[in-house]
Amino acid sequence: MTISVPPSFGKKGSNRRSFLQKGVAAAGAATVGAVLFSEGLPAIGEEKGGSLDRGDAAILRFLAAAEILETDLWQQYNELAGVGVTSGPAFLYSTGLAQLDADMAQYISDNTDDELTHEQFINAYLESKGADTVDLKKFATLAPSKVDGVPQVGRLTNLMHLNVDTSWWTRYRSSTKNPDFGDSFPQAVNIANRTAIPRTNDDLVADGSKPSGISDRTQAISNTAGFHFCTIEQGGTSLYPSLAQRVTGVEVLRIVMSIGGTEIAHFQTWHDKAGNAIPLTDTDPVTGSKVVFHDLNNDPGFGGEDFQTNLIMPEPTIFLSKKLPACSIIRPTQTRGAAMGAFMGLAASNLFHGQSKEFFAALRDLAEDADEARRGF
């Protein structure tokens, strides 16, 4: 099921801005970031940019929200498969992920740490400039995994009903198409209404007949996560350079490009793992959704050298004009509607399954403001 976002959510309104922390005078170096998130803040009207260009502040707020959401989902993965998971029921899930790469636990923990620092830094920078910051804690109401040992606290994101867009696999291997030219790309794997984390201990099943010692049921969840990791990070890979084109201030541009570079590193890391997903077929006993993971090295639909699973660097393709030579690039990087496109893509993935209308209104508002930013001269 795909969550729809009613157009009415796009209308401006002060009651939809209670997720912002009201800007204060620029803080000194000793106090920046000391207290970034407050509860019970009153609704406010138009956001404050402080000493920042208004558009730059809007872009940073949207990126802060995106990083908060990424932190939330990565923390869920980290609780179940990070370096701290060495025993207990969740270790079966971690074992499934290790079939994609033996270092998955370390990479998951590192990715989680990175997103948390991005979130904290951007909000601290906004506060230091007297601009409004972003606080989404009031929306952390979604149920977590019930696997033993997982903290039973509310979450912003839902990893249990995902529609995973795997078209990045074919998009980055194409030498003739670019989404900035309106091109579309087939899915590498059709993943719809699937969980990417074990929901309860019942999803964690051992199977001594398998080389890994775990069942196809548990491995399918791990495979789904492996593809979702890359789906999330390829989104950030495009989002940062797309919004950078609208930035006015040199320092803000430095922030956007510097953080964006780490998103690219994340994407390439996960791209190198997803193709190792164990071939299997599984039908989810809860949702009834069926998934088929093929051996992508031998899939008849993706044959040829360009589809080897060890190819993780972008194939050169058309860029800016079809009259120019092919170039190896991030794709897409079209700036028009970049923030709204990112928001709508996340919504379509069911990452926000179960969230409130107010949550969708808040995120849509941030996206609209970021897309309205224009580079000053």
Instruction: Give residue-wise pLDDT tens across range 65-85.
Output: 999 999 999 999 999 999 999
- What 8-state DSSP symbol labels residue 275? T
Report the alpha-carbon distance of residue 25 to residue 185 in Å, rounded: 48
Report the alpha-carbon distance of residue 28 to residue 354 in Å, rounded: 40
Instruction: Give residue-wise pLDDT tens across range 171-194.
Output: 999 999 999 999 999 999 999 999
What pLDDT band is residue 37 in, cutting at 50, 70 and 90? very low
Report the alpha-carbon distance of residue 170 to residue 186 in Å, rounded: 7
What pLDDT band is residue 45 in, cutting at 50, 70 and 90? very low
Report the alpha-carbon distance of residue 75 to residue 71 in Å, rounded: 6
Measured in whole angstroms, the distance separating CA 173 from the mean position of its chain's CA atoms is: 21
Instruction: Give residue-wise pLDDT tens across range 92-117.
Output: 999 999 999 999 999 999 999 999 99
- For Cα atoms 346, 347, 348, give the angle at the middle one, nearest 5 degrees: 90
Query: Which residue bears the tokens 């801005």?
Result: 17
Which pLDDT score, from 0 to 100, does residue 7 have?
Answer: 38
Number of residues in the chain = 377
What pLDDT band is residue 23 in, cutting at 50, 70 and 90? low
Which pLDDT score, from 0 to 100, does residue 301 have?
Answer: 76
- 90-98 helix and 216-244 helix, angle to the nearest 10 degrees: 70
Instruction: Give residue-wise pLDDT tens across range 305-320.
Output: 778 888 889 999 999 9
Of the chain, the percentage scoring pLDDT greater than 70 comes to 87
Which pLDDT score, from 0 to 100, does residue 18 have?
Answer: 65
Which pLDDT score, from 0 to 100, does residue 17 have?
Answer: 64
Which DSSP helix (H) or strand (E) runs through 290?
strand 290-293
Q: Are strands 133-134 and 20-21 parallel, antiparallel or unpaired?
A: antiparallel
How many Cβ atoms from other residues are within 10 Å of residue 3's Cβ? 18
Tell me the torsion sign for CA atoms 295, 297, 298, 299: positive
Residue of higher predicted confidence among 44 and 186: 186
Task: Read off the tokens for 339.
Answer: 């923030």
Average pLDDT over residues 253-269: 97
What phi and psi, each to the nearest 5 degrees, are found at residue 308? -60, 145
Which pLDDT score, from 0 to 100, does residue 264 have?
Answer: 97
For the chain, the straight-line distance linking the first and the last C-alpha, in angstroms and rounded, comes to 45
H helices within the chain, ranges in order? 54-81, 90-98, 104-128, 168-171, 216-244, 250-274, 338-348, 357-372
